[in-house]
């Protein structure tokens, strides 16, 4: 078998004698990418085949494993464009903390994956480069905004990848592509070097072929960072050591608000089957209520767009990235015209929509009516979770209300697109950790994902439950026929 089809832990601990070289892994990845990338389009641009092999390797537990990273995470000397025209040609002058940590553990930074522009989207169709295709059905989306990372892992064009998650952007594409994606607790992983979308919601996390790889990658990137004021100074457990502790007697909540009309019947059936499997392993299920869930989408699209409006104000074409050729009729100063034309031409439609929405809710007369009230409801959503975690250890839900939809199906209906994240948004508002893993397939052979939520910094417990389920099923071993 080609090395690119193996998991990270299989590559780190190969059967028999000897070890596997980075060069051999990169060679097999290159062959796979040359074969399927024209169809999948998981990468923002050509991966670093030669550069990866020339990187100086540190002596760490990742031992030369290639890791692909989302195009909004800075890596020194590499193009980092957030899949946006306005950052065209921007070369990162430093490493993000997660990249620095990966290098310290011996990893190779292998390439930048495609994404929705500035992480604005749930389908990976909003990229300025090209849409990414779902490896299970090339006519369908991979999810977003970390769709490139999910598709690369699912198509065996990457061993492991990093994504970012602001409202479900790791978990939703993980579900739609049949891989494992973890959104860590807010503050568990440094955001330094992540080009911001919404600073109170963003988190970087791992996207992998199985749960063990996910725990391995989170172990490498987690931890306090003085360069990130929101980073929490709390010890990082050995996630791998906790995997096989068992789940007998674990109490798992099932929120009634998540199992409602509108969910695809095949998704409901798959998640119910997963519950039955976990019950057979000794898990106890409890029905719980998260009553403010119905407000989560509205609250999210007020807070997230407000923060996006503020964060994206810095992109004006003055110091880096795209700058429009200024055409002025003399009616306004050249500088103002340059700002308008640069931002008008540089940002895509979804980015403009979110900037306008965010500017509106922050404007005089509307700040209290929208933004302040959204912050108060956000606190109520967090309180709902606090109460539920007094009753149970974890929460189980679907990740997405449906399997992957057709490319172009929702591009003219932004609200329908926004509702794709209905099961994932609350986690970001409350700052909680959550993981998506495969739990079945539709009749059309499309992956279905389930989501496990935990209390703050309970990633260990999430991995325990996910690993127990994964080891008792075969979903993670299925491969798309590209």
- 245 classed as catalytic: no
pLDDT for the residue 401: 94
Q: The domain containing residue 32 runs over which residues? A: 1-482
The answer to whether 304 touches 198, Cβ cutoff 8 Å, is: yes
The secondary structure of the chain in percent helix, strand, coil, rounded to multiples of 5, reads 40, 15, 45
Select which of 63, 70, 209, 275 is catalytic: 70
pLDDT tens per residue across span 92-101? 999 999 999 9
pLDDT for the residue 417: 81
CA dist 117 and 347 (Å) reads: 8
The pairing of strands 203-208 and 180-183 is antiparallel
pLDDT for the residue 365: 87
Mean pLDDT for the chain overall: 95
pLDDT for the residue 337: 87
Select which of 22, 123, 145, 231 is catalytic: 145
**Burial class of residue 78, CB neighbours in 10 A (0-12, 13-18, 19+):** buried
pLDDT for the residue 61: 87
Look-up of token digits 């990338």: 37
The answer to whether 270 touches 440, Cβ cutoff 8 Å, is: yes
In angstroms, what CA-CA distances link 58 with 11, 63, 224, 443, 478?
Answer: 17, 8, 21, 46, 33
Q: 464, 475, 460, 476: which is closest to 218 by C-alpha?
A: 460
The beta-strand segments (E) located in 176-250 are 180-183, 203-208
Look up residue 95 and give its two tokens. Answer: 């490493």
Q: What is the CATH number of the domain that holds 411?
A: 3.90.1300.10
CA dist 359 and 338 (Å) reads: 20
Dihedral Cα 178, 453, 419, 203, nearest 10 deg: -80
pLDDT tens per residue across span 96-132? 999 999 999 999 999 999 999 999 999 999 999 999 9
pLDDT for the residue 325: 84
Task: State the alpha helices, DSSP H only, in 13-83.
Answer: 22-40, 49-54
- 70 classed as catalytic: yes
pLDDT for the residue 468: 98
The answer to whether 451 touches 436, Cβ cutoff 8 Å, is: yes
pTM: 0.96
CB atoms under 10 Å from CB of 31, counted, come to 13
The beta-strand segments (E) located in 127-179 are 160-165
Number of independent structural domains in the chain: 1
Buried residues in 296-324 as b, exposed as e (16+ CB within 10 A) = bbebbbbbbbbbbbbbbeebbbeebbbbb
pLDDT for the residue 416: 79
Select which of 84, 169, 190, 420 is catalytic: 169
- 145 classed as catalytic: yes
**Burial class of residue 147, CB neighbours in 10 A (0-12, 13-18, 19+):** buried
Sheet order of strands, 203-208 included:
108-113, 66-70, 160-165, 203-208, 180-183, 434-441, 447-454, 394-398, 251-255, 284-288
Look up residue 216 and give its two tokens. Answer: 């391995």
CA dist 154 and 174 (Å) reads: 9
> Mean pLDDT of residues grouped by 10 in the chain (482 residues)?
95 76 94 98 94 81 94 97 97 98 96 98 96 98 98 98 98 98 98 98 98 98 98 96 94 94 92 98 98 96 97 93 79 81 95 96 91 97 98 97 95 80 96 98 98 98 98 97 92
């Amino acid at each position: 078998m080609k090395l690119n089809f193996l998991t990270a832990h299989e590559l780190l601990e190969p059967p028999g004698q000897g070890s596997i070289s980075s060069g051999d892994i990169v060679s097999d990845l290159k062959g796979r990418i040359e074969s399927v990338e024209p169809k999948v389009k998981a990468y923002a641009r050509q991966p670093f085949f030669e550069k990866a092999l020339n990187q100086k390797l540190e002596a760490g537990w990742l031992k030369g494993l290639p890791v692909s990273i989302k195009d909004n995470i800075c890596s020194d000397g590499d193009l980092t464009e957030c899949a946006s025209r306005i950052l065209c040609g921007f070369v990162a002058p430093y490493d993000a903390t997660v990249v620095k940590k990966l290098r310290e553990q011996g990893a190779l930074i292998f390439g930048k994956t495609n994404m929705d522009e500035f992480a604005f989207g749930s389908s990976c169709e909003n990229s300025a480069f090209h849409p990414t295709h779902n490896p299970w059905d090339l006519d369908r989306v991979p999810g977003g905004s970390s769709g490139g990372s999910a598709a690369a892992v699912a198509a065996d064009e990457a061993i492991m990848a990093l994504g970012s998650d602001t409202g479900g952007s790791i978990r939703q594409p993980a579900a739609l592509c049949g891989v494992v994606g973890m959104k860590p607790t807010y503050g568990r992983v440094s955001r330094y070097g992540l080009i911001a979308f919404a600073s109170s919601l963003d988190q970087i996390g791992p996207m992998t072929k199985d749960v063990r790889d996910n725990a391995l990658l989170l172990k490498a990137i987690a931890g306090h960072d003085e360069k990130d004021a929101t980073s929490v100074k709390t010890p990082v457990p050995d996630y791998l050591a906790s995997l096989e502790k068992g789940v007998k007697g674990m109490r798992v909540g099932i929120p009634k608000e998540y199992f409602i009309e509108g969910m695809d019947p095949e998704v409901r059936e798959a998640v119910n089957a997963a519950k039955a499997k976990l019950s057979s392993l000794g898990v106890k299920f409890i029905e719980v209520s998260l009553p403010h869930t119905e407000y989560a989408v509205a609250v999210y699209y007020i807070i997230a767009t407000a923060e996006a409006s503020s964060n994206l104000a810095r992109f004006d074409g003055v110091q880096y990235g795209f700058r429009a050729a200024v055409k002025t009729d003399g009616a306004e100063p050249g500088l103002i015209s340059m700002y308008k034309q640069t931002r008008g031409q540089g940002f895509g439609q979804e980015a403009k929509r979110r900037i306008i929405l965010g500017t509106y809710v922050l404007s005089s007369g509307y700040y209290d009516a929208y933004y302040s009230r959204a912050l108060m409801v956000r606190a109520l959503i967090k309180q709902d979770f606090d109460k539920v975690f007094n009753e149970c250890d974890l929460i189980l839900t679907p990740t997405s209300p449906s399997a992957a939809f057709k490319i172009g199906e929702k591009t003219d209906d932004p609200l329908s697109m926004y509702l794709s994240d209905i099961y994932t948004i609350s986690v970001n508002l409350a700052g909680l950790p959550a993981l998506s893993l495969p739990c079945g397939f539709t009749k059309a052979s499309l992956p279905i994902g389930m989501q496990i939520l935990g209390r703050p910094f309970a990633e260990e417990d999430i991995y325990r439950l996910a690993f127990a389920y994964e080891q008792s099923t075969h979903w993670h071993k299925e491969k798309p026929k590209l």
